[in-house]
Amino acid sequence: MGQKEINGALKEEEHIMNQRKEKIMERKILVVGGVAGGASAAARVRRLDAHARIVMFERGEHVSFSNCCLPYHLSGTVENSDALVLMSPEKFAKQHDIEARVWSEVTEIHPREKKVTVRNLQSGECYEEEYDKLILAPGASPVMPEGIVGIRQRHVFSIRNVADIRALKKYIDQNHVRKAAVVGGGFIGVETAENLKMAGLSVTLVEGSSQIMLPFDYDMVQILHKEMLDCGIELYLSGILKEIKEDCIVINRQGKEETIEAEVVVMAIGVTPETGLARKAGLEIGKTGGILVNKNFQTSDPDIYAVGDAVETFHRLLGRPGRLALAGPAQRQARAAANHMYGETDGNHGFIGSSCIRVFGQNAACTGLNERTAKEAGLVCAYAHAIAPDKVGLMPDSHYMNLKLVFEVPTGRILGAQAIGKGNTDKRIDVIAAMIAMGGTLEDLKELELCYSPVFGTAKDVVNLAALIGLNLLNGRYRQVPVTDVRRLVEEGAYIVDVREEHEFEAGHLKGAHSIPLSQLRQRMEEIPRDIPVYVHCRTGQRSYYAICCLQGHGYENVHNVSGSFLGISLYEYFNDKTGDRVPVVTEYNFN
Rounded to 5°, the CA angle 113-117-122 comes to 165
User: Closest by alpha carbon to 189, among 149, 224, 230?
Assistant: 224
Rounded to 5°, the CA angle 315-378-443 comes to 75
Who's near 102: CB < 8 A, 6+ residues apart? 58, 60, 61, 62, 63, 89
- By the 8 A CB rule, do 521 and 556 touch? no
CB atoms within 10 A of CB 199: 18
Q: What share of the chain is helix, strand, coil (3-state, %, to 5)?
A: 35, 25, 40
Helices (H) and strands (E) in the chain, counts: 17, 33
Over the Cα atoms of the chain, what is R_g?
28
Output the CA–CA distances (angstroms, integers) from residue 401 to 43, 391, 393, in the order listed: 40, 9, 12
CA distance 370 to 404: 9
CB atoms within 10 A of CB 169: 17
- By the 8 A CB rule, do 285 and 272 touch? no
Query: What are φ and ψ of residue 521, in 5° steps?
Result: -60, -45
Q: Cα 59 from chain centroid?
A: 27
User: 355: helix, coil or strand?
Assistant: strand
Q: Cα 36 from chain centroid?
A: 16
Max Cα–Cα distance, the chain, nearest Å:
102
CA distance 534 to 521: 14
Q: Where do the H-state alpha helices sit in 217-365?
A: 218-230, 276-280, 327-341
Rounded to 5°, the CA angle 554-555-559 comes to 100
Bond from prior residue into 89 cis (ω within 30 degrees of 0): no
> What residues are annotated to the active site?
538
- By the 8 A CB rule, do 404 and 563 touch? no
